[in-house]
Structures are given as C-alpha cells and as structure tokens.
Amino acid sequence: MIEVKDLHKGFSGTEVLKGITATFLPGKTNLIIGQSGSGKTVFLKSLIGLHKPEKGTISFDGKVNTNFTDDERQQWRQEIGMVFQGSALFDSQTVEENVMFPLKMFTKKSKEEMLERVNAVLDRVNLENSNDKLPAELSGGMQKRVAIARAIVMNPKYLFCDEPNSGLDPQTAIVIDKLIQEITDEYQITTVINTHDMNSVIEIGEKIIFLNKGKKEWEGTSEDIFSTDNEAVVDFVYSSNLLKKVRQVYLKETK
C-alpha cells in the first residue's frame, strides 16, 4: 500500500502539487488522471522518488521513503517496476536481454536462473519464443508487453505505468489494459497508472484520482465517475459526444 499525505512540490517558486493526500491499495489498478498541467506527471515522479517533496510524506507499506536508510532505499528500488511511456527498450539488445537487465543489475542469480525467470514473465505476457528478437522487429503493442515483462521480472510490490497506451491503437490499448489489470490482481501489486486514456478509466479504473491545478479534485471508481456531479470531472472525462451518450444512458438506467 502507498499512502500520500499532504504532498507539496514546486519548481522555481511555482507550486505544482498543492497538498495531495491519497491512498493506493494493492491488487487494484489505481489511476491518476487530469488535464495537461494538472500535476499528474510530477505526482507520479514524486511517488517513484525522482522528485523530493517540500512538504508531506509518501509511505510504502508504512515506511516513509524520505526516512529510508541507504540499505532500505536500495531494497525499495528493487521492489519497484516501471513501464515508461515509450517503452524505453534498449534498441541494440534482444527481448531476452532487455527483460534480463534488472536481474543482472540487482541480483546475483545464475544465468540459468535469470533465463528461467525471463522466460516465465515472457510467457505471462504472451511473448514466448520472442527472446532473440530486437525491439525494431516488434509491433508497438509487443514492445509494450516486453516493457511490462521487464517491469515485473523482479516480482515488484509496486508497479508504476506512465501513459502505457500512448501510441497504441484502441484494440491494442485494451489488450495492454487488461494485461496490467490481470497482473496486478494475480500478484497483488500496488499499481499506479498515469493516463489520459478514457477507455482505461472506464474499463480498469478500480480507483481513480482526478487532479486539477495541483490538487486532488475527486476520487472514486469507474462506476462512480458515471454518476459524479463534479463539473471538472464531467468536462474532462466526457469531452467526446460518444462518452456523453454513454453517461446519459447509464444515468437513465440507474434512476
């Protein structure tokens, strides 16, 4: 579980995060949404330790990250998996080498043990027998699955995803959403997803945090978001006519 209390972060005298308090539970797909400039990217980077807050705390299973000893910080970093927006694969390395990279960096496993683990996670993301391929030989969706395999190869407690559906067609995006949700549930990972994909919000939003101008404007589930009367959320989520019609049907059927 990740607990955030009264988080403040700014740059050059401008406050970007203005006292955010939130809880992210294990086994759930926790989504962060908001307009450009709302602070969601700074929030995500603060959670993974790339930004140090001026005020407030971020706790991982009860331990405040700013109070970690060097050994605790090293252990914490090994418990985090990250799926980057552009997949961030090493172009000159094979799928196997990309996925094995964290194991080489942080463990003392034998080559045989590492390969066994790599094959296990590749099989889990439906990329078995792709070990020797280079990223350039893969579709965008397959590259994203390699990125997910690499993120979970260390069996992390916490999984962070930055716009995981960026650049993907709608059908492939649904596949990636479902894969992340399944892995989160199977391994009871605390998953935090930064997204602007409204299909993700509706399909896998087990908990949604909506940021507006650096503050937490709203939180709820994908079901709650259909019935909310928060104008900022409605304007953001239901910007398309199709989604507006879906919401209207939902509200009509639940009356």
Domain ranges of the chain: 1-79+158-220, 90-155
Looking at residue 199, its pLDDT comes to 86
Helix axis angle for 170-187 and 140-152, nearest 10°, is 10
Distance between CA atoms of 159 and 135, rounded to whole angstroms? 22
Judge whether 15 and 28 are in contact, CB under 8 Å: no
The CATH architecture one would assign to domain 1-79+158-220 is 3-Layer(aba) Sandwich (3.40)
Distance between CA atoms of 139 and 175, rounded to whole angstroms? 13
Looking at residue 242, its pLDDT comes to 53
63-64 and 55-60: which strand pairing?
antiparallel
Q: pLDDT tens, position by position, for the chain (255 residues)?
A: 999 999 999 999 899 999 999 999 999 999 999 988 899 999 999 999 999 999 999 999 999 988 888 888 888 989 999 999 888 999 999 999 999 999 999 999 999 999 999 999 999 999 998 999 999 999 999 999 999 999 999 999 999 999 999 889 989 999 999 999 999 999 999 999 999 888 898 889 999 999 999 999 999 998 898 888 898 888 888 765 556 666 666 566 666
Distance between CA atoms of 37 and 170, rounded to whole angstroms? 25
CA–CA–CA angle 91, 95, 98 (5° rounding): 70
- Look up residue 166 and give its two tokens: 């960026």
Looking at residue 240, its pLDDT comes to 54
**Prediction pTM value:** 0.89
User: CA torsion angle for 244, 248, 251, 255 (degrees, to 10)?
Assistant: 170
Nearest to 76 by CA among 65, 91, 92: 65
Looking at residue 229, its pLDDT comes to 87
Nearest to 119 by CA among 127, 111, 108: 127
